Amino acid sequence: MAGKEVADQLPVASSQRLLLELAIAELGSDNLDLEITAGSSKGDNYSCTIHRIRATCRGTGKQVCIIAKLPPQNELRRKQFFIRSSYDREISVYNEIFPMMMEFQLSKGLKPSESFHQVPHCLGTSFVDHEEAIFMRDLREEGFRMVDRQKDMSLEHFQLMVRALARLHATSLALKDQHPERMKRFIDMPEILTLPDANAMMEPWWSQMATRTMDLLDETKEPDVLQRTKKVLTKSWPELTNVLFKGEHAEPYAVIAHGDCWHNNLLYKHEDNKAVDIRLLDWQCCRYTSPVVDLTCFIFIASSKAFRDEHYQHLLDYYYNNVADSIRRLGSDPEQLFPRTAFHQQLARFGWAGLVMAAICLPVITTKAEDVPDLEQFVEQIDAGEDVSKAFGSGVVEATYRQKMTDCCRDMVRLGYI
């Protein structure tokens, strides 16, 4: 906590009251000291503010560490990052979807080492307008840390994430098979990024990022790559989301998916400099869609071309084998629910999701924290219709972005996804 300002209170009074209630419940005493510090750095979070709380019982010295995820109070930023819809979705995930999945897995006798459990422990939530809040156990106390998004991750990092996604998706498929009535309301949940506020934010951002991507490609040197890329990137945001993010187009293989698979939403635990465990954060874009949307978005955002050349096929096999194994453990037949041929058909049909999300996310990922724009000013520029395509990225990182993005386009063509 060195170097972080310590506060006496959370910025919202109702969140402070809920925090106190949760801390008392955890420690069994109201004789507490609360130390509140900033829980993230510049560039780590865009639709929330994170606060880290250490609650200490004065009598026993017993402690509990809690993370408070609160929304921005700036009205324009709330609108641009579709705060109400995002918190509604994430709170539903913690209060309804995860309990359903955990209960189902437990009923099958699965141990944590065999199941999907790689999520924070949620202590409490609030959905009061402008006072939204999610309180979780602080995973830093268990040794989990965010990786440096500008450094290459190891194969172990990728395997942990791919296995977690496989188990998440397998649980959806098995629940649909055995308890379709429990899954129906989540199958019907609307796509977050097509709601009016989200669309108002995403459409201009997408248009500018797509143009920025196409400007990187040289028509004289790679005419086929440019033309194939253009077929995707010249589509409007509603056109893209209607195909990629609507589960009905992926049936009968659509699943409850994470929806926002990039570095800042992952925490890893390391032992002897090796990644050994993972937790998936930020479920605000959780959606019902093809399983390969999560998979290709993560791989193409997080990896280099050199890594994909060596490991991409292995990760696809690793994913599918873990899906099949999990479906069996949950009491269903993978050959019926999600045969390998169906997996490859889904890749051929939806694999280009990795290109779309790379175009959106790579400018952010390759920008150093100190160069991240002021978010209040950023959303004002978007709201005014200004060109913000170069708001992220500067100096040497521009070359990194250019390399990663053009390599992504080339691999999309090579793999036959576009």
122, 148, 117: which is closest to 133 by C-alpha?
122
The DSSP secondary-structure symbol of 272 reads: T
Q: Would residue 8 count as lying in a domain? A: no
Within 8 A by CB and 6+ apart from 227, the residues are: none
Residue with tokens 């390599």: 407
- Ranges under pLDDT 50 in the chain: 1-4, 43
Rounded CA-CA distance 161/319 in Å is 9
What residue type is 236 in one-letter code? Answer: S
pTM, 2 dp = 0.92
Q: What is the pLDDT of residue 40?
A: 66
Concatenated DSSP letters of 82-117 = THHHHHHHHHHIIIIIHHHHHHHHHHTT--GGGS--
> In this structure, what are the phi and psi dihedrals at residue 148, rounded to the nearest 5 degrees?
-75, 115
What residue type is 383 in one-letter code? Answer: D
Number of domains in the chain: 1
Rounded CA-CA distance 175/173 in Å is 5
Question: Residue 218 — left, alpha, or beta (φ > 0 → left; ψ -120 to 50 → alpha)?
Answer: beta
> In this structure, what are the phi and psi dihedrals at residue 116, rounded to the nearest 5 degrees?
-85, 115
Q: What is the pLDDT of residue 374?
A: 64
Q: What is the pLDDT of residue 201?
A: 82
Q: Would residue 255 count as lying in a domain? A: yes
Q: What is the pLDDT of residue 2?
A: 36
Q: Would residue 165 count as lying in a domain? A: yes
Q: Would residue 263 count as lying in a domain? A: yes
Q: Would residue 209 count as lying in a domain? A: yes
pLDDT digits (tens, 9 = 90+) for 12-41: 999 999 999 999 999 999 999 999 998 765
Q: Would residue 42 count as lying in a domain? A: no
Omega before residue 252 within 30° of 0, cis: yes
What residue type is 174 in one-letter code? Answer: A
Q: Would residue 133 count as lying in a domain? A: no
Q: What is the pLDDT of residue 74?
A: 83
Question: Residue 152 — left, alpha, or beta (φ > 0 → left; ψ -120 to 50 → alpha)?
Answer: beta
Q: What is the pLDDT of residue 1?
A: 32
For 97, counting Cβ atoms within 10 Å of its Cβ (0-12 exposed, 13-18 middle, 19+ buried), the class is buried
Domain that holds residue 272: 82-118+145-414
CATH classification at residue 364: 3.90.1200
Q: Would residue 58 count as lying in a domain? A: no
pLDDT digits (tens, 9 = 90+) for 186-243: 999 999 888 887 888 889 889 999 999 999 999 999 999 999 999 999 999 999 999 9
